[in-house]
């Protein structure tokens, strides 16, 4: 039943998006990129919150008060499509996210992503991948937070896949702080028993911001495993939140 309702909702969301695309285009022409982003993000966040509600997700959120009032790089583990849905519905301030190149071909989502400074990353092409990372870093310098999941693919195992080193260059290039984010049990909403959607407990935990300038040389040099270990600790410390 939930799966059917979500399909109906996505069809409804698609059709109400069509006139709003035109509004966003008009706002971009009149007020620039930031104006269009400011219009698009609340609509997308509302849409994602409705999706979580229809899925019956019992979402626990911790640490949101730790997010600085400045552009940051959100870095999370990656268990589900619902990671992005949940995290993006929560972030304050204008935020874009880095997604795999294949997402650029998905109707509706890709269009809204472009309004919200989304960056499409081709992991098979190193040159294009670097261009995407530099574009994301420029977004941060221009006042937009960015979100990335450096595992590179959805992972349902207890242990994370090692983070791609290049992903954290967004923070290195822009000088922003890194906010580690732990996603717990989000894959049990859909991926673990597709095509059915289940009402389950899930959690999103925002950790203490990491200022690379305050780290010692070794940790700065190995920033990817350093951040990944922080997320691993957050997952283990909060696993009880999603246990039945």
pTM of this structure: 0.93
CATH number at residue 186: 3.40.1130.10
Tally of domains in the chain: 1
Distance CA 108, CA 14 (A): 7
- The residue segments making up the domain with residue 121 are 2-242
Tell me whether residue 18 is exposed, middle or buried, using C-beta atoms within 10 angstroms of its C-beta: 0 to 12, 13 to 18, 19 or more. exposed
1-52 residue pLDDT tens: 788 999 999 999 989 998 999 999 999 999 999 999 999 999 999 999 999 9
Name the E strands within the chain: 58-62, 72-76, 95-100, 119-121, 145-148, 177-184, 201-206
**Mean pLDDT estimate for the chain:** 91
Say yes or no to pLDDT of 244 above 70.
no
């Amino acid at each position: 039943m939930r799966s059917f309702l979500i399909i109906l909702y996505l069809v409804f969301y698609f059709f109400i998006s069509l006139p709003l695309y035109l509004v966003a285009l008009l706002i971009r022409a009149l007020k620039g990129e930031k104006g269009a982003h400011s219009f698009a993000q609340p609509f997308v966040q509302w849409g994602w919150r409705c999706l979580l509600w229809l899925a019956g997700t019992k979402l626990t959120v911790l640490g949101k008060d730790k997010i600085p009032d400045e552009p940051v790089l959100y870095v999370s583990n990656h268990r589900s499509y619902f990671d992005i849905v949940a995290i993006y519905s929560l972030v304050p301030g204008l935020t874009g996210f880095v997604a795999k190149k294949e997402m650029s071909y998905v109707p509706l989502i890709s269009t809204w992503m472009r309004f919200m400074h989304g960056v499409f990353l081709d992991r098979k092409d190193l040159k294009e991948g670097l261009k995407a990372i530099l574009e994301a870093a420029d977004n941060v310098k221009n006042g937009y937070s960015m979100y990335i999941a450096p595992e590179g693919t959805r992972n349902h195992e207890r242990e994370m896949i090692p983070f791609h080193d290049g992903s954290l260059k967004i923070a290195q290039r822009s000088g922003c702080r890194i906010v580690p984010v732990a996603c717990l049990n989000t894959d049990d909403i859909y991926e673990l028993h597709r095509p059915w959607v289940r009402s389950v407990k899930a959690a999103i935990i925002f950790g203490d911001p990491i200022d690379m300038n305050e780290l010692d040389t070794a940790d700065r040099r190995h920033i990817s495993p350093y951040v990944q270990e922080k997320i691993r600790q957050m997952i283990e410390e909060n696993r009880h939140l999603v246990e039945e």
